[in-house]
Amino acid sequence: MISLSKKVIEPGQIIGIIGGGQLGRMMTLSAKEAGFHVVVLEPAPDSPAGQIADEQIVAAYDDRIALAELAKKSDVITYEFENIDFGALDWLTKKAYIPQGSELIKITQDRILEKQSLTDAGVEVAPYAVIRSVVDLEEKIKSIGLPSVLKTSRGGYDGKGQFVLKELADMEEAIKLLSHGPCVLEAWIPFNKEISVVMTRSVNGELSCFPIGENIHVNNILHETIVPARISVDVEKNVYLLATKIANHLNLVGTLAVELFLTEAGKLYVNELAPRPHNSGHYTIEACSISQFGQHIRAVCGWPLQDPTLLKPAIMINVLGQHVDGVRKEVLKRPNWSIHFYGKKEAKHNRKMGHVTILTESVDATLQELDESGVWMKEINS
């Protein structure tokens, strides 16, 4: 069995990454800047991360032969997203140095476990009930009330695997989600803002939080993040306090994003966790003294964390498939736009193909600039 004692991974050693998407790509860039070699395991050939890693193992996330190969080639292993196979990851922790362990993946893959863990950490979530049958739904909707949201316990992202019930007549459609397994029924929170905080905790217990982002979603997909979030000092303090509670309760190692609802009265509800760098933290590449990806690499490699100072206010806006042509046309007109494309071959509608970050002295002026570009006109006006 591999010892889980703390290790310092030095430049020239090899980091293994499970997952080859855009988060793995940006993680790889940070790792290589620091002098590490990178091996990625990902089933899709020529993946965004695999394109720039030293090597890609093309195999499924639960392929234990491939995972054993990754372990043999790596001095430390991390992961870029939570939808990997928990059983395989747990098995791998006994064969490789994975400072993050597997327990956080188990918790964040299951909304029931996640909500219970958050409650145990002493933070507030929306009132909820576990739904395992039609009878459960009929009974619990009386106490949860309408409107409410039914979500599958496992799977689902960017609004997938959930249904908003506005009236009892919506029950017939909502019930279809039960075919995917247990669900969670959540009370609808009339929020004023959606915000998020990305934090990193090292193998030595050192914790750092990035500036809080204010998130705007369109069709359940993150559209843009404004930093710093336009919130009060008291709310800011409460977010960092809440984040610290969660990190310590989970014994976090690596990066974790906490998504929250903020009500008009200043009350905070945790919506969900993401146990890795997060879309709303992409602004950190240009706007902070260290990016969320660089900080994550430092954390899992046993390096001291940096102080993630905000250098300048910023807006990050996602580039989906339908925006690619528009952004390409704007490249020569917008020297203040930092443009990131992820190396995905097919620009499908609503598929995340990249992002743009703009450092700014005036958030309002920059929002107007984005509007005037016409690239995101439909989303901005929706």
Encode pLDDT of 120-130 as tens digits.
Answer: 999 999 999 99
Domain assignment of residue 2, yes or no: no
Most confident of the ranges 2-6, 24-28, 82-86 = 24-28
Question: What's residue 381's pLDDT?
Answer: 53
Question: What's residue 349's pLDDT?
Answer: 96
Instruction: Please say if the pLDDT value at position 377 is more than 60.
Output: yes
203 and 181 fall within a common domain: no
273 and 366 fall within a common domain: yes
d(CA 183, CA 137) in angstroms, rounded, equals 9
Range of the domain at 303: 191-380
Domain assignment of residue 250, yes or no: yes
257 and 320 fall within a common domain: yes
Count of domains observed in the chain: 3
Q: Tell me the per-residue pLDDT of 270-307, one tens digit each, with 9 for 90 and over.
A: 999 999 999 999 999 999 999 999 999 999 999 999 99
Q: In 145-268, where does DSSP find H-type helix?
A: 171-174, 233-250
Domain assignment of residue 120, yes or no: no
C-beta neighbour count of 35 within 10 angstroms: 10
Question: What's residue 245's pLDDT?
Answer: 97
**Mean pLDDT to the nearest integer, 321-325:** 98
Residue 338: band (very low, low, confident or very high) from pLDDT cuts 50, 70, 90: very high
What is the percentage of the chain residues whose pLDDT exceeds 90? 91
**Mean pLDDT to the nearest integer, 88-95:** 97
Pairing of strands 352-359, 337-341: antiparallel
247 and 320 fall within a common domain: yes
Tokens of 218: 């369109």
85 and 141 fall within a common domain: no
What is the percentage of the chain residues whose pLDDT exceeds 70? 96
228 and 272 fall within a common domain: yes
Question: What's residue 3's pLDDT?
Answer: 39
CATH number reported for the structural domain that contains residue 176 in this entry: 3.30.1490.20
CA distances from 170 to 141, 164, 167, 364 (A): 12, 8, 6, 39
Most confident of the ranges 2-16, 147-161, 331-345 = 331-345
42 and 84 fall within a common domain: yes
176 and 268 fall within a common domain: no
Question: What's residue 1's pLDDT?
Answer: 33
Tokens of 134: 């039609």
Report the number of secondary-structure helices (H) and strands (E) in the chain: 13, 17
CATH number reported for the structural domain that contains residue 368 in this entry: 3.30.470.20
39 and 75 fall within a common domain: yes
328 and 355 fall within a common domain: yes
- Determine the residue type at 161: G
260 and 375 fall within a common domain: yes
301 and 356 fall within a common domain: yes
